[in-house]
Amino acid sequence: MDFRYDGEGFKVYSGKFDVNTTVFDSGIVVDPNVGADVYQKAKVVLITHGHADHFGDAAFLRNKGAKIFAPRHEMPFVENPELNWRGMYSWARLPEKVVTPYFLGRGVKVDEFSENLEINGVKALKMPGHTPNHTAYLIDSVLVASDAVHSPDYWEKFGILYYVDPNKMAISLREMEKIDWDYLIPGHGEVFDRKEGIKVIRYNIRMLERIEKEILEVIGEKVAEQEIFSTLALKYGFKGAKARIVLMPPVRGHLTDLCEKGVVEMYEEKGIIYFKVR
3-state SS assignment for residue 145: strand
Question: What pLDDT shows up at residue 66?
Answer: 98
List the domain range (segments joined by +) for residue 130: 2-210
Question: What pLDDT shows up at residue 47?
Answer: 98
Q: How many domains does the chain have?
A: 2
Section 108-136 average pLDDT: 97
CATH number at residue 219: 1.10.10.10
pLDDT tier for residue 201 given thresholds of 50, 70 and 90: very high
How far is residue 164's CA from residue 40's CA, in Å, rounded to a whole number?
A: 35
Whole-angstrom CA distances from 100 to 14, 61, 235 are 19, 24, 20
pLDDT tier for residue 89 given thresholds of 50, 70 and 90: confident
Domain boundary among 210, 227, 257: 210
pLDDT tier for residue 71 given thresholds of 50, 70 and 90: very high
Domain boundary among 210, 225, 259: 210
pLDDT tier for residue 133 given thresholds of 50, 70 and 90: very high
Domain boundary among 164, 189, 210: 210
Same domain membership, residue 218 and residue 195: no
HSE at residue 68, side-chain half, CA atoms within 13 A, is: 27
Return the sign of the alpha-carbon dihedral for residues 124, 26, 70, 194. positive
Same domain membership, residue 170 and residue 236: no
Section 50-69 average pLDDT: 97
Same domain membership, residue 193 and residue 218: no
Same domain membership, residue 227 and residue 141: no
Same domain membership, residue 224 and residue 122: no
Question: What pLDDT shows up at residue 255?
Answer: 98
The radius of gyration of the chain's CA atoms, rounded to the nearest angstrom, is: 19
Same domain membership, residue 92 and residue 226: no
Closest CA to 21 of 111, 157, 63, 42: 42
pLDDT tier for residue 151 given thresholds of 50, 70 and 90: very high
Same domain membership, residue 115 and residue 53: yes
Name 232's Cβ contacts closer than 8 Å, sequence gap at least 6.
160, 214, 215, 218, 238, 247, 251
CATH number at residue 156: 3.60.15.10
Same domain membership, residue 131 and residue 171: yes
Of the chain, the percentage scoring pLDDT greater than 90 comes to 91
**How many C-beta atoms surround the C-beta of residue 140 within 10 A?**
18
How far is residue 269's CA from residue 256's CA, in Å, rounded to a whole number?
A: 18
Question: What pLDDT shows up at residue 246?
Answer: 93
Range of lowest pLDDT (42-56, 89-103, 217-231, 257-271): 89-103
Q: Where are the alpha helices (DSSP H) in the chain?
A: 58-63, 75-79, 82-88, 152-158, 166-178, 194-219, 225-236, 240-260
pLDDT tier for residue 1 given thresholds of 50, 70 and 90: confident
- Write down the pTM of the prediction: 0.96
Same domain membership, residue 146 and residue 90: yes
Same domain membership, residue 164 and residue 224: no
Same domain membership, residue 253 and residue 177: no
Question: What pLDDT shows up at residue 174?
Answer: 98
